Structure 1
């Protein structure tokens, strides 16, 4: 039995700071995805919402919230929360429903109205949550964590702030070409270097913003797609939603430690590499088969890390891959041709879905001036709260 499901429609609400409800963004994205699929809301047998806990009660039950907003028509409903991996886990839920025969057509929606500044942990004190412990015990908000990670790359691999700036320059150039992006201005390395330091060595333009936005995908079984859609639809072939491997419940120290003798040897591969490996194995592909990738560039240094964790290059070779132009449009393996979070900012439950929207457009040949020539296979990657990770393989 094939694990493929067809992507019949994709839709997004532009990213920005619009000051309205996440429901409005999600409904706009859902309607755009349904129109793209040539289907009516009444054709949908199930709706899966990626949750936004900052949206209050409606955000905690996003699937039901979107079903109500679109108009109750009896669809099955589910809601999924995994922070930055919420969208991918919503896609996994929808795919499972289709493969189990519970629904022929499933609508997946994620949207957010993000606050300005640092995200606060939702739900009060969480002393059993590794991220809460990082915030409270170390005072390491996300930008601090990104800065520590960047310092680690500098110490171990010899990366420089100039290398990090090149990531922003590349992604901003792609954002110029994307009408849905929030930031659509080209950026120079000099502008990155002149922006304020946030968490040394990272500057303001090295770190993504928080945004409002929404994204939606219409999935269907292959038989339904053959009857109602294109003869050769874009398909989701794998969804990886793995957790770290570690012999106890402490933080996954090898991922953030230095290479000193005090570092603990991991029991296996680092977490993000296990995310990619699980996706590749399920899809029956390797990194050499990829046409492009959309990765979770919360900071410029983290994008370089994803190059290595997705096995696009060897360990410590991320900056060289970037400098050689391999990850730019026209390169061997373009990364974040959407503009990435550098151009969009974080609308948390929507971003993994938005990545699949971009991959779908690329594989259809509908990405306009940012089109990757001959794109046939794409992968997305995210890391979420409390050990969630995700990767999605999309094929044509």
Structure 2
């Protein structure tokens, strides 16, 4: 489909491979940015706007990442912004760049996110903060991230009869998808028996059910459709819908399953849960629905959470994700492959880069260049993720 005048298109996508490299996050971001610019056939001085996704674990440069990356590339007078939205930081940066282009304030924008992470699972940063709900969930509830993931897993088991082997099957699928992905950290076949044999972290989840923390970077070059057309790009990938909506009352405080932290026990719940509302808003903007999707990149912090997301984005009805998985529909070659990149199961978390990396995968798939993991004849894909306390995103890309 030819882009319209109001479209924002992806001219370039680039990544620094995920891993535990132990270097400055700026190095990863620069590598990704230069790869995206090369992919777009542009140079740094062509960029008019830089949108950085922030990292909070890497000092002041991480908090002003837009300016950090602009300085590292060389001051050119480009406008900048820096965004922090937990795991949706990259999507907020994409939204900022897209808005600048749609407003006519820029023709070309560079979006960059990168992170260097500590060993082990994430913990609160910044010292004791007894008025901070994120600090309180760790210290008062004992709800570290793996505990949080396990609560959702237990909920699936209680409500829908999910089994630990269903969760393991998600890992097996995603590990197979990531085998050929040159940017993935983990590129190894995994069996259900391997998952069963791994250490219990937060019952019922085992080590291989939970994503790691990683270093990595990702970048996109976005442009107006008119700019792309003037430069001979006739069939680019389009950002057709982007949602960063907030939750609806009464689900307004801690995003933990069925915890009475607000008025949820006395007020009827909203029509759509938060994650489903994120996807719905993106579908509405794109003029598409779940049946139009060729594939999905969803936020698999745990294997169980991928199953929740399949329902939230409308790939199946509530409680039917296990059946969808068992049917083979979400594997490469199936009706709607989920996480053809390998997902966080193969990458791990590099927080500000994650949503950007998802859109890189949408781009490569829709171009037909995802070698070794290519979805057959894709036309539209969705990328979704969620950060705590009302941050989340859904991005739909089409050809």
Does TM-score exceed 0.5, indicating one fold? yes
Q: Which of 108, 111, 114 lines up with 1:108 in the alignment?
A: 111
1:346, 1:330 → 2: CA distance?
26
Structure 2 CA distance for aligned equivalents of residues 271 and 264 of structure 1: 16
**CA deviation vs aligned residue, 1:245-269 (integer Å, no higher than 9, x gap):** 1247543566568xxx979641331
Equivalent residue for 1:280? 283
1:226 matched to 2:208? The reply is no
Q: 1:36 aligns with which of 13, 16, 39?
A: 39
**What TM-score does the superposition give when structure 1 sets the normalisation length?**
0.96
Q: Distance in 2 between matches of 1:118 and 1:234?
A: 35
CA distance in 2, matches of 1:130, 1:275: 22
Segment of structure 1 superposing worse, 375-384 or 262-271: 262-271
Relative to structure 1, is the Cα distance of residues 325 and 211 closer, same or farther in structure 2, using a 3 angstrom cutoff? same
Inter-CA distance 256–324: structure 2 relative to 1 (3 Å threshold): farther
Between 233-242 and 119-128, the greater mean CA deviation after superposition: 119-128
CA offset digits 1:335-359 (Å, max 9, x no partner)? 0000000000001000100000001
Match of 1:335 among 317, 320, 338: 338
When structure 1 is superposed on structure 2, of 29-38 and 170-179 the one drifting more is: 170-179
Is the contact between residue 48 and residue 106 of structure 2 (CA under 8 Å) also seen in structure 1?
yes
1:387 to 387, 390, 396: 390
* 1:129/1:324 CA distance change after superposition, 3 Å: farther
Aligned residues: 393
> Within 2, Cα distance between the matches of 1:265 and 1:205?
37
* Residue aligned with 1:328, SS: coil
**Aligned position for 1:65:** 68
Residue 238 (structure 1) aligned with residue 253 (structure 2): no
Question: Which residue of structure 2 lines up, in the alignment, with residue 311 of structure 1?
Answer: 314
**Equivalents in 2 of 1:183, 1:67: separation in Å?**
31
Instruction: Choose 123-132 or 111-120, whichever is displaced more.
Output: 123-132
Q: Give distance in 2, aligned partners of 1:256 and 1:298.
A: 20
Q: Does 1:359 align with 2:357?
A: no
1:33 deviates by: 0.1
Higher helix share: 1
Dislocated runs of 4+, deviation >4 Å: 125-129, 252-257, 261-264
2:378 aligned residue (375, 378, 388) = 375
Q: Distance in 2 between matches of 1:120 and 1:223?
A: 45
**Residue 13 of structure 2 aligns with which residue?**
10
Specify the SS of the correspondent of 1:369.
Answer: coil
Contact 2:250 2:269 in 1 (8 A): no
Note if contact 1:149-1:256 (Cα within 8 Å) is conserved in structure 2.
no
What is the RMSD of the two structures over their aligned residues, measured on CA atoms? Answer: 1.7
Cα deviation for residue 167 of structure 1 reads 0.2
Aligned residue among 171, 174, 195 for 1:192: 195
* Aligned 8 A contact 1:168 1:300 in 2: yes
Unpaired segments of 5 or more residues in structure 1?
none
| Per-residue CA distance 1:70-93 (angstroms, 9 max, x = gap) | 011111010000110000010000
How far did residue 132 of structure 1 move? 3.0
Query: Helix, strand or coil: the match of 2:72?
Result: helix
Does the aligned pair in 1 maintain the 2:25–2:216 contact within 8 Å? yes
* Offset, 1:271: 0.8
| Unpaired runs of at least 5, structure 2 | none
CA offset at residue 122 of structure 1? Answer: 2.9
Q: Find the counterpart in structure 2 of residue 211 from structure 1.
A: 214
How far 1:175 moved relative to its partner? 1.0
Matched, 1:27 2:30: yes
Once structures 1 and 2 are overlaid, which stretch shifts more, 236-245 or 41-50? 236-245
